Structure 1
Amino acid sequence: MANIIDPLQIKIEQAKAKMSEDAVNAISAVDWKAAILTLREKKGYTFEQLGDMELATELLLCGLITPKNYPKELEKQMKIPGREVSELVNLMNDMVFKKIREELIKNAERKKVFSKKTDMPINVKKSDEFIAKKVPTPRVVPDKVHPILAQKLTGPLQNPTVNTEHSLNNISKPVRSASSTADAGGTNPPSIPPSYTKGKDPYRLSPEE
């Protein structure tokens, strides 16, 4: 293993130089080498095994091996069975890789906040205008309003008039006589001819009747 460390170390340094600043900062924020050393007490690995694991992990972090090949590299270099490799990978996910991903997310969020503080005050007005043009104004459909309520909203309330037996229209008017009607109209009504002969008693029947 000592004969291949130097060539690999050169490749590692070259790979680090091509990494993004966010990735380098996220990896540096997590003490992953110290996490590997704790496995000596937890799993009883030798220092040589831990050295092989450290190298395989660094190759993974630099992108020189894929996550799919990482378990195979551990099994090959550390000479441990596949079931133990699976447990070891789960431990590394919790202790190292998960924390590095969290740091990457934090760095991305910091950049978003910083870009908002620097760029938004300059373009905030144009941005608001652009959004206002793109967002359609919702059409408000009025609900059906009760006529009484609509009358209260549009003008003075006018209660509908209900004719009751006590209203003036329902009070019986006196019957006007024929003479009063004639006087009011200016003409006399035609006289009704009597149905009996003049000079006879109207209440006495004739023998013929």
Structure 2
Amino acid sequence: MQIAIIDYGAGNVQSVLFAIERLGFTGIITSDWKTIQTADKVIFPGVGEANTAMTKLKANGLDTLIPTLKQPVLGICLGMQLLCNASEEGNTKGLGIFDVDIIRFSNQVKVPQMGWNTIYNLKSVLFNGINPDEYVYLVHSYYAPLCAEAIAKTNYEMEFASALQKNNFYGVQFHPEKSGAFGEQILKNFLNI
């Protein structure tokens, strides 16, 4: 199985690659269109600021490639947020896969949310073998409000969508590659789709 990890200068690509290798799979870190188009699975990680990341995606034309992909695609953290319509962070237009706008937590809570929190209301094969209220690792100041495409929820200030799915696109706000055995199970489930 060929697993492409999209490299656009704004992702935690190495830790994602290591997590995949721990599961016994081989991944390739790439920004090459053909490699991404022909991969069996595509992982779209992201760390940093939305507008800067989108500028980097556009520089490689990846903003036009990603929405056309037909194989399973997993957006992680900022990668998930960039798959949405827009983000308040830097007033960024997203890729428009998920029909929701990313907004910032209020000043009533510590921002970013950094550390372990639970996921529940799990509604996807992505969570096979995962019990509700398992802990996952999050680092984020912006979030996806609850919407029709939500497949998991987390509560921080209010309930928000900690995972999304539409057709072959999946997104998780948390970092499965940093979430221990449960995160590895989620990655394994994605690779088995």
Instruction: Sort the TM-score into its range (normalised by shorter chain).
Output: under 0.3
Relative contact order: is structure 1 or structure 2 higher (C-alpha 8 Å, sep ≥ 6)? 2
Larger proportion of helix:
1
